[in-house]
């Protein structure tokens, strides 16, 4: 069945996406841009209005200071876009104006257009857990006007969904962060003579690797281990070889498929409980077994038939040893993970769910905001 026939209220509609970044930004690419094609197949016209430029991200990931003039221009541009907005449906990534009061988030309500807010991170903890009291008192409720005026919220996990619901969102649906499985080759791991423990991320979150590095150090005398990183810097304190790769969208699928085991260590804090487990979904899409900290949504993604959940340092060592000493176990868990992704965490599974939600929003006879 053609998507435009399955979702008749989407046909001929204009969907405007107020994203945080351009497509190079991971959250914007995964939560918004990869749904462009399904939306267009359903008959929509899709426009993207990113807040921050690619140059901003390049400076951020390069550890350079923020360009305040560039950010100010971005905010002015977004104000102008809101003032001239023409759309049938608006989809907002996280918030409209980071670190501005709630009165700015309220602006979208005056446009008399139904809008959906998407959360894939606990960005509200930038405000309600702020150490500076005056910032916290000014901004801890800044998202409430945006949430109470929306048609619905799409959230990447239950932690984010619970926040949205408790802060006024009239309707909340959980849409996990998903992968296009066509970009991840699913083949059995190749025995290269060393156990390739892999991690993908950025330099800003490589700090989470500390317990994995300590576990690899303790295991290095008994197992031939290599730490394969995609997006990390050259790490210090390693007792095993590091195979370091820069991240690119074109190569990430093949690089993840070169792992034997995929790891996702996390600290157990409110911010991490809002993460959506995307690394795990990437590893599983490539048919690789996973080991993850038992934090937040990780505990839902990782079942015993796809990998191992860990609760402390000793668990990391045990889990890496268990999987690393059995090729049969790695292959079996990896195959199970691929099937789990195809069923629950793939673009093919999530797109119809999202389109159905948008179709229902647009079917509402009157929008009051």
Does residue 139 lie within any of the structural domains? yes
**The pLDDT of residue 4:** 65
pTM of structure:
0.93
Q: How far apart are CA 324 and CA 265, in angstroms?
A: 17
Q: Could you tell me if 130 and 158 lie in one domain?
A: yes
**The pLDDT of residue 181:** 97
Does residue 78 lie within any of the structural domains? yes
Q: How far apart are CA 191 and CA 26, in angstroms?
A: 31
**The pLDDT of residue 76:** 96
Q: Could you tell me if 116 and 186 lie in one domain?
A: no
Does residue 252 lie within any of the structural domains? yes
Domain span including residue 285 = 181-345
Q: Could you tell me if 339 and 358 lie in one domain?
A: no
Q: Comparing C-alpha atoms, which of 134, 236, 116, 92 is closest to residue 170?
A: 116
Low-confidence spans in the chain with pLDDT less than 50 = 1
β-bridge partners, 308: 291
Q: Could you tell me if 354 and 278 lie in one domain?
A: no
pLDDT tens digits, one per residue of 160-185: 999 999 999 999 999 999 999 999 99
The distance from CA 331 to its chain's CA centroid, rounded to whole angstroms, is 26
Does residue 85 lie within any of the structural domains? yes
Does residue 368 lie within any of the structural domains? no
**Number of other residues whose CB lies within 10 A of the CB of residue 145:** 20
Q: Indicate the number of domains in the chain.
A: 2
C-beta separation of 198 from 283 below 8 A: yes
Q: Could you tell me if 204 and 309 lie in one domain?
A: yes
**The pLDDT of residue 54:** 78
Q: How far apart are CA 207 and CA 203, in angstroms?
A: 8
Q: How far apart are CA 236 and CA 131, in angstroms?
A: 31
Q: Could you tell me if 339 and 352 lie in one domain?
A: no
C-beta separation of 94 from 153 below 8 A: no
Q: How far apart are CA 129 and CA 133, in angstroms?
A: 9
Q: Could you tell me if 188 and 325 lie in one domain?
A: yes
DSSP 8-state class, residue 335: H
Q: How far apart are CA 264 and CA 280, in angstroms?
A: 7
Q: How far apart are CA 153 and CA 330, in angstroms?
A: 37
Q: Could you tell me if 10 and 93 lie in one domain?
A: yes
Q: Could you tell me if 216 and 357 lie in one domain?
A: no
Q: Could you tell me if 190 and 239 lie in one domain?
A: yes
Does residue 338 lie within any of the structural domains? yes
Give the pair of three-digit tokens for residue 73: 């221009």
Does residue 369 lie within any of the structural domains? no
Q: What is the CATH number of the domain that holds 354?
A: 3.40.50.2000
Q: Could you tell me if 125 and 9 lie in one domain?
A: yes
C-beta separation of 268 from 293 below 8 A: yes
Does residue 51 lie within any of the structural domains? yes
Q: Comparing C-alpha atoms, which of 7, 351, 6 is closest to residue 182?
A: 351
Q: Could you tell me if 207 and 197 lie in one domain?
A: yes
Give the pair of three-digit tokens for residue 222: 């008994």
Instruction: Measure the CA angle with vertex 200, ends 213 and 349; round to 5°.
Output: 135
């Amino acid at each position: 069945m053609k998507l435009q026939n399955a979702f008749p209220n989407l046909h001929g509609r204009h969907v405007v996406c107020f994203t945080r970044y351009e497509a190079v930004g991971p959250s914007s690419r995964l939560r918004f841009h990869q749904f462009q094609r399904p939306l267009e197949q359903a008959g929509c016209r899709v426009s993207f209005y990113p807040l921050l430029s690619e140059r901003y991200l390049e400076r951020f990931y390069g550890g350079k200071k923020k360009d305040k003039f560039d950010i100010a221009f971005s905010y002015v541009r977004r104000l102008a876009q809101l003032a001239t907005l023409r759309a049938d449906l608006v989809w907002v990534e996280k918030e409209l104006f980071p670190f501005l009061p709630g009165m700015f988030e309220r602006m979208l309500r005056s446009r008399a257009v139904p809008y959906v807010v998407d959360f894939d991170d606990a960005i509200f903890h930038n405000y309600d857990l702020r150490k500076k009291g005056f910032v916290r008192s000014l901004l801890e409720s800044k998202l409430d006007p945006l949430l109470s005026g929306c048609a619905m919220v799409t959230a990447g996990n239950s932690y984010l969904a619970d926040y949205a619901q408790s802060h006024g969102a009239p309707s909340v649906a959980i849409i996990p962060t998903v992968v296009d499985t066509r970009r991840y080759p699913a083949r059995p791991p190749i025995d290269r003579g060393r156990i390739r423990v892999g991690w993908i991320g950025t330099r800003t979150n490589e700090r989470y690797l500390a317990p994995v590095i300590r576990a690899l150090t303790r295991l290095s005398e008994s197992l031939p281990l290599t730490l394969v990183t995609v997006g990390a810097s050259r790490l210090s304190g390693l007792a095993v070889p590091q195979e370091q790769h820069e991240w690119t969208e074109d190569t990430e699928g093949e690089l993840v498929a070169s792992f034997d085991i995929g790891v996702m260590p996390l600290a157990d804090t409110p911010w991490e409980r809002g993460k959506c487990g995307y690394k795990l979904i990437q590893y599983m899409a490539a048919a690789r077994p996973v080991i993850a900290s038992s934090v937040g949504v990780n505990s839902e993604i990782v079942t015993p038939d796809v990998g191992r959940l860990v609760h402390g340092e000793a668990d990391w060592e045990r889990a890496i040893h268990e999987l690393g000493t059995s090729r049969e176990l790695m292959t079996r868990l990896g195959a199970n993970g691929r099937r789990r992704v195809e069923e629950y965490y793939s673009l093919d599974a999530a797109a119809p769910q999202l389109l159905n939600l948008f179709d229902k929003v647009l079917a509402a006879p009157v929008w009051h905001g």
